[in-house]
Amino acid sequence: MNWTAFIVFLIFFLLVTVVGFLSANWRKGNLELLDEWGLGGRRFGTLITWFLLGGDLYTAYTFIAVPASMYAKGGLGFFAIPYTILIYPFIFVVFPRLWSVAKKHGYITAADFVRGRYGSSTLALAIAITGILATMPYIALQLVGMQAVLVAMGFSGTGLAGDLPLIVAFLVLAIYTYNSGLRAPAAIAVVKDLMIYVSVAAVVIYIPYKLGGFGPIFDAAEAKHHEAAIITPKMFAAYSTLALGSGLALFLYPHSLTGIFSSKSRDVIKRNAALLPAYSLALGVIALLGYMALAAGIKVTNPNDSIPQLFLHMFPDWFSGFVFAAIAIGALVPAAIMSIAAANLFTRNIYKEYINQNCTDKQEAKMAKMISLIVKLGALVFILLMNKQDAINLQLLGGIWILQTVPAVIVGLYTNWFNKSALLIGWIAGMGWGTYMAASTGYGNQYKLPFGLAEGTTIYSGLYALAVNLIVSLVLTIIFRAVGVKNGKDETNKSDYDFEEATTAS
């Protein structure tokens, strides 16, 4: 055991635990209402939304997996940087429209919007199932990131003794999320992000200084990966489509949309689209940790262990404990938001739609709280009892799956021309083809172009599946319209997409 690192880690973990429980009284609202528990009353301003979305998107697994990919595979792992840059103009243009229509009609999930836009509970169910399926392995991967730092501090035993710290951490998370709802991760995100920025500042200054500058760092990467240390022309298609597809998918995840719905105004979303690239700058430094680990001579069998070992090798134990706490808290924040988002989907679009249509507001909130506990427990059991590679494979599938909601959700913000049945069949086609491509390539995220086009060129499977989805939806809509098949009733109107309450205008 590295007791110095662990004690520092424990101090900061206890700090955020206290913050998590006290946050129930922050901007106090009736937590027996789903709007208050699951969206913080839709009252988060620019600064809190910035911390919340940053904590939501830049997770513990990001801090571990992105540099681990650079360590193991080279320059292809750097795709995370352009996609987190591409996404923000997309947010600026598209998501104020979603916020407006959700605020006007009281939507809490993307599936709520689809239900209202197309008048189809079945299509909404498909969107809700997709969101839950894509979220579950994402929560599990936060545990992978937390486990990496626990192992680095010495919790490497087998059985209950080795798993107990992880179990305790997630039980504490479950309790204060149940108690405080979205307010808990929003408050903790402030602490987490400040710690991450301190860590990144130390990394970008101290480690290159100790290693003799960035020259030796990139020399070590070239020695390990040769030409793959940078993006070569034959990698352009794979790299660019992976970045584009990941960018489109990122804000379709339920936890990302929860951050959007909890904002108090359209302008808050626009300001955050302008401010959030600061995290991309930090991510660029984090990604280079993989190359720094190579230059520092870190040797590990599991690439995910390379970054914790780098910190232990380069920094005093007390500062390593501080960074490990930042990474672990970086697991708790998104895991909390993800479980809340999954609970919102189940409660609104499955429980209330199909199981108890006459449930009261109090029953609705209580069900969401219970489901948030079950979701966390499921992720914990998954990690403890199953192969971690299964979680990684499912998360790769999650990106492919969540992209299949683009036609109904993103296109739906601009037109309801598509027929609801065509969209459902297109969704089935995209989900099926995307899953097949992933499984047939050993859960890789690349697939060869069809019909012998550009022989040897691969593109991101998620975009390929989305193209199939869109083509099927388009063709079937034309056919259904030709034969007179009616669409569902649209409960929204054009002005709803620019709606802004006078009381929330900035």
**DSSP at 57:** H
- At residue 270, the pLDDT reads 94
- At residue 506, the pLDDT reads 36
Cβ–Cβ contacts within 10 Å for residue 201, how many? 12
Residue 359 phi, psi (nearest 5): -65, 145
- At residue 503, the pLDDT reads 43
Structure tokens at 61: 């697994």
* Mean pLDDT (whole number) for 212-221: 92
* Mean pLDDT (whole number) for 16-40: 86
Q: Sorting pLDDT into bands at 50, 70 and 90, what band is 80? A: confident
* Mean pLDDT (whole number) for 254-270: 93
* CA separation for the pair 172, 294 (Å, rounded): 36
- At residue 343, the pLDDT reads 94
- At residue 330, the pLDDT reads 86
Q: Is the pLDDT of residue 504 over 60?
A: no
Q: What percent of the chain has pLDDT over 90?
A: 47
Structure tokens at 265: 């105004």
Helix (H) or strand (E) holding 435: helix 420-440
CA-wise closest residue to 33 among 347, 365, 357, 359: 365
Q: Sorting pLDDT into bands at 50, 70 and 90, what band is 379? A: confident
Of 445 and 195, the structure prediction assigns the larger pLDDT to 195
* CA separation for the pair 406, 383 (Å, rounded): 30
**DSSP at 447:** E
- At residue 160, the pLDDT reads 63
Q: Is the pLDDT of residue 407 over 50?
A: yes
Give residue-wise pLDDT tens across range 230-261: 777 777 888 888 888 888 998 999 999 999 99
Give residue-wise pLDDT tens across range 464-487: 999 999 999 999 999 999 998 888
Q: Is the pLDDT of residue 389 over 70?
A: no
Q: Sorting pLDDT into bands at 50, 70 and 90, what band is 453? A: low
Q: Is the pLDDT of residue 76 over 90?
A: no
- At residue 57, the pLDDT reads 77
Q: Is the pLDDT of residue 102 over 50?
A: yes
Of 159 and 198, the structure prediction assigns the larger pLDDT to 198
- At residue 406, the pLDDT reads 96
Of 428 and 230, the structure prediction assigns the larger pLDDT to 428
Q: What is the dihedral of CA 331, 337, 341, 347, to 10 degrees?
A: 110
* CA separation for the pair 377, 375 (Å, rounded): 5
Question: CB under 8 Å to 480, separation ≥6 — which residues?
Answer: 419, 421, 422
Residue 288 phi, psi (nearest 5): -70, -10
Structural domains in the chain?
A: 3-405 (1.20.1730.10)
Q: What 3-state class would DSSP assign to 231?
A: coil
Q: Average pLDDT over the chain, rounded to whole?
A: 87
* CA separation for the pair 130, 142 (Å, rounded): 19
User: Which range among 141-150, 422-431, 438-447 has the greatest average pLDDT?
Assistant: 422-431
Give residue-wise pLDDT tens across range 299-310: 988 888 899 999
* Mean pLDDT (whole number) for 142-169: 78
